Structure 1
Amino acid sequence: MGTTFHPVHTLVGIIILQKSIVYITAGNNNSLDSLENLFIRAGFDTSTFDEPKQILKSLQAQSPSCILIEAQGTETPIVELIKTIRSHSATVPIVIAGKNCRLCDAVDALRAGASDYVEAPIVDRVLIESVEKAISDSQLIQTA
């Protein structure tokens, strides 16, 4: 797979291509490393966070193309985390990777503002496509 870029519209109407960056947080270091390597191989830039709340501090300095949260092992309830991220950045897409989830958890996450919920067992291709679609949909909304 090649490098993943997304268009950025400037104030004067010029479109530039910017490399897509995915913020990733997971419940343990093995999952975090695995997800980071997956997205790097797919052509994304990544920033990883041991704790989901660390993302909030980083959002003040830089807006990612997408946020990927592995739901397993997070101390903060997913719905609360999504709402908090939404209060800091209303437009950044959020994809949840869930393990051992109940249907109502996925529905609650989507209602709180997640772009997608990918349930385990997670297939790499499906997760990458979900993030790519979330980024693409977000760009369509921003240009409308």
Structure 2
Amino acid sequence: MCSSNLGLKTQASAPSIGIIDDDLAVRRSLANLLKSAGYSASTFSSGEEFLQSLNESAPDCVLIDARMKGMQGIEVQRFLKLKDTAPAVICMSAFWNDVTMAEAYSHGAHQCLAKPFTEELLLTTIEDALRSR
């Protein structure tokens, strides 16, 4: 397991990370990793479910699968870009191409990660995204 300098924070003060992916195994795996690194993690099976949750509170950072059933990651990004307090966005996909990657960045993605990625790369990317907010 990779260590993170943010991993020493308590759950109450830990940055919150939203995980939006239609694959249950991916959501569980990422949530377990992030919780073990000291983050507060919430999972969402669709972009629609995530957007409905924003009435409660927005996470500090979101991991968004670019290709999902229903609302795609880019569509979620377009909505978040309109918000005053948009979270840092990290897009994930096993199917990147130049066009979709450029679109993700143009809608405010901090980084685009190709699945599968290492735990270390993900944790480093999240730390960097949180610092740049």
Shorter chain as normaliser: what TM range? 0.7 to 0.9
Query: Where do residues 110-129 of structure 1 align in structure 2 (5 Å cutoff)?
Result: 110-129=105-124
Gaps of 5+ in 2: none
- For the residues of structure 2 that align with 1:74 and 1:96, how far apart are their CA atoms? 15
SS of 2:71's equivalent?
coil
For residue 96 of structure 2, the aligned residue among 73, 87, 101 is 101
- For the residues of structure 1 that align with 2:9 and 2:61, how far apart are their CA atoms? 12
Distance 1:72 1:35, change over 3 A: farther
Q: Offset of 1:89 from its aligned partner?
A: 4.6
Gaps of 5+ in 1: 6-16, 139-144
Q: Offset of 1:103 from its aligned partner?
A: 2.0
- For the residues of structure 2 that align with 1:58 and 1:73, how far apart are their CA atoms? 18
Distance 1:26 1:108, change over 3 A: same
Query: Where do residues 85-96 of structure 1 align in structure 2 (5 Å cutoff)?
Result: 85-96=80-91
On the 8 A contact 2:93/2:115 being kept in 1, the answer is yes
Deviations 1:106-138 (A, max 9, x none): 111010111111112311110111111111100
Confirm whether residue 3 of structure 1 aligns to residue 8 of structure 2. Answer: yes
Does 66-75 or 120-129 show the bigger shift?
Answer: 66-75
Confirm whether residue 136 of structure 1 aligns to residue 92 of structure 2. Answer: no
Structure with bigger RCO (C-alpha 8 Å, 6+ apart): 2
For residue 46 of structure 1, the aligned residue among 41, 50, 56 is 41
Deviations 1:22-67 (A, max 9, x none): 0111121111111111111111011111112222222222121101
Aligned AA (1:31): V
Q: TM-score, normalised by structure 2?
A: 0.84
Q: Give the CA RMSD over aligned residues.
A: 1.9
Distance 1:132 1:74, change over 3 A: farther
- For the residues of structure 2 that align with 1:74 and 1:128, how far apart are their CA atoms? 26
- Length, aligned pairs only: 127
On the 8 A contact 2:91/2:112 being kept in 1, the answer is yes
SS of 1:88's equivalent?
coil
